[in-house]
C-alpha cells in the first residue's frame, strides 16, 4: 500500500502514484495543466477531497468515502480518465467529477451514484450503472459523446440528463447480456429546466412485474426481449419521445405503455426508419414503454350476391 502525500499541489507537472493511492483525509489540488497518473486503485477516505483542475488518469478502481463526493466543486473544471480494464467506482458516498472520459472497451461499473457536471465521453466503452444512477447535470445537448459506447442499467438504475432547451437529447442506453443498443432521444418542448431518467431494461418485461400477457385486447403482443424506462424527474412540460428498435427485433410495432396492463399509445413512425415517436408527450404516470404488435382485426360483410338457404 502506498499513501498519498499529506498535501499535493501540481501546477504544471506530472505525478505518478502506484500501485495503490490512499487519501487518509486531507485536501488535494491539481492545478490547470497538471497531470496525475494512478496505475492502481485510488481510495479516498472520510475527510479527503480533491480539487481537480487538471487531468487525472486512473487505471484501477475508485473508492470514495467522503461526503464531499471526492472531486469538489471549485476552480476550472478538470477531467477524470478511466483507462484500465474493467473498473469500479464505489464507496459509501457518491462520486462527482467535471468531465468523465472512458477509454478502451472494458466496462466501467458503478457501485455508488455518479454525478458528472460537464461532459460524459463514452468512447467505445460501456458505463454499467447496475442499480445506481449516472447523472449528467450539464444541460448542453452535446454533454454526452460516444463512438460505440453506451450506458446499461439494472432495475433501479438509470442514466439521467438535465435539459434546458428545445433540442434533441440523446440517451445512449443499451444492455450487455446480450449485447444490445436501443437509444432514446428526448426533445423538450420548452427551454425550462427539466431532468429525465432513461434505462434500457434488457430483459423480458414479465420478469420485472410487467407481464406481457396483461395487455389491452387491441394489442396482440409485447416485445419479449426488452422495454424502456423513461421518466420525468423534474419539470412539468411535455417532451417528444423517440425510441429506436432493431429490424431483427421480433416485435417492433407502435409503443405501448404499462398502466396496470399494457395499453396502446398514439405513437407514430419516424423520424428514422426504425423509430417510433410520441410527440408532445406528457404522461409519465407510468415510466414503462415497450414496442408492441397491434391485434389484427378482420371485417367480414355480406355482399348482394349472398345466397339464402335453399337457393341454388
Q: What is the pLDDT of residue 297?
A: 65
- Residue of 311 and 161 predicted with greater confidence: 161
Q: What is the pLDDT of residue 207?
A: 99
Q: What is the pLDDT of residue 20?
A: 86
The Cα–Cα gap between 285 and 59 comes to 42
Residue 81 grid cell? 480518465
Strands 79-82, 95-102: pairing kind: parallel
Q: What is the pLDDT of residue 244?
A: 99
Q: Pick from 108, 168, 110, 137: which is nearest to 233 by CA?
A: 137
In this predicted model, what pLDDT tens digit does every residue of 133-168 receive, in sequence order?
999 999 999 999 999 999 999 999 999 999 999 999
Strands 262-264, 255-258: pairing kind: antiparallel
296 pLDDT tier (thresholds 50, 70, 90): confident
Burial (CB < 10 A; 0-12, 13-18, 19+), residue 181, is middle
pLDDT at 4 over 60: no
Lowest mean pLDDT among 15-29, 70-84, 129-143: 15-29
Burial (CB < 10 A; 0-12, 13-18, 19+), residue 141, is middle
Q: How many residues does the chain have?
A: 312
Q: What is the pLDDT of residue 6?
A: 35
| Mean pLDDT calculated for residue range 114-130 | 99
| Mean pLDDT calculated for residue range 206-229 | 99
In this predicted model, what pLDDT tens digit does every residue of 42-58 receive, in sequence order?
999 999 999 999 999 99
CB within 8 Å of 11: residues ≥ 6 apart: 31, 33, 34
Structural contact between residues 151 and 190, judged by C-beta atoms closer than 8 angstroms? no
Q: What is the pLDDT of residue 9?
A: 42
Residue 288 grid cell? 414503462
In this predicted model, what pLDDT tens digit does every residue of 230-268 receive, in sequence order?
999 999 999 999 999 999 999 999 999 999 999 999 999
Beta bridge partners, 221, equal 293
Within a 10 A sphere around the Cβ of 282, how many other Cβ atoms? 12
Residue 101 grid cell? 472520459
The Cα–Cα gap between 62 and 283 comes to 39
CB within 8 Å of 168: residues ≥ 6 apart: 141, 185, 186, 187
Radius of gyration of the chain (CA): 24
Residue 163 grid cell? 435539459
pTM of the model: 0.91
Amino acid at each position: 500500500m502506498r499513501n498519498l502525500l499529506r498535501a499535493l499541489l501540481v501546477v504544471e507537472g506530472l505525478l505518478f502514484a502506484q500501485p495503490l493511492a490512499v487519501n487518509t483525509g486531507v485536501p488535494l489540488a491539481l492545478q490547470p495543466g497538471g497531470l496525475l497518473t494512478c496505475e492502481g486503485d485510488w481510495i479516498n477516505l472520510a475527510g479527503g477531497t480533491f480539487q481537480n483542475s487538471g487531468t487525472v488518469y486512473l487505471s484501477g478502481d475508485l473508492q470514495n468515502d467522503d461526503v464531499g463526493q471526492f472531486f469538489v466543486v471549485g476552480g476550472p473544471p478538470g477531467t477524470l480518465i478511466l483507462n484500465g480494464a474493467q473498473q469500479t467506482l464505489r464507496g459509501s458516498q457518491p462520486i462527482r467529477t467535471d468531465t468523465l472520459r472512458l477509454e478502451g472497451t472494458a466496462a466501467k461499473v458503478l457501485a455508488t451514484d455518479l454525478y458528472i457536471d460537464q461532459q460524459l465521453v463514452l468512447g467505445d466503452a460501456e458505463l454499467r450503472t447496475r442499480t445506481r444512477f449516472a447523472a449528467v447535470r450539464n444541460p448542453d445537448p452535446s454533454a454526452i459523446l460516444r463512438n460505440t459506447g453506451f450506458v446499461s442499467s439494472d432495475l433501479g438504475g438509470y442514466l439521467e440528463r438535465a435539459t434546458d432547451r428545445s433540442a434533441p437529447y440523446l440517451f445512449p442506453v443499451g444492455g450487455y447480456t446480450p449485447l444490445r443498443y436501443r437509444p432514446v432521444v428526448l426533445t423538450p418542448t420548452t427551454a425550462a429546466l427539466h431532468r429525465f431518467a432513461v434505462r434500457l431494461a434488457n430483459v423480458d418485461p414479465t420478469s420485472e412485474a410487467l407481464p406481457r400477457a396483461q395487455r389491452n385486447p387491441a394489442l396482440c403482443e409485447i416485445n419479449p426481449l426488452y422495454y424502456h424506462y423513461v421518466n420525468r424527474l423534474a419539470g412539468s412540460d411535455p417532451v417528444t419521445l423517440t425510441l429506436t428498435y432493431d429490424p431483427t427485433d421480433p416485435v417492433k410495432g407502435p409503443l405501448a405503455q404499462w398502466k396496470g396492463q399494457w395499453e396502446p399509445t398514439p405513437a407514430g413512425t419516424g423520424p428514422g426508419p426504425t423509430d417510433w415517436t410520441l410527440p408532445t408527450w406528457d404522461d409519465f404516470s407510468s415510466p414503462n414503454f415497450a414496442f408492441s404488435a397491434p391485434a389484427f382485426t378482420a371485417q367480414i360483410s355480406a355482399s348482394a350476391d349472398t345466397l339464402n338457404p335453399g337457393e341454388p
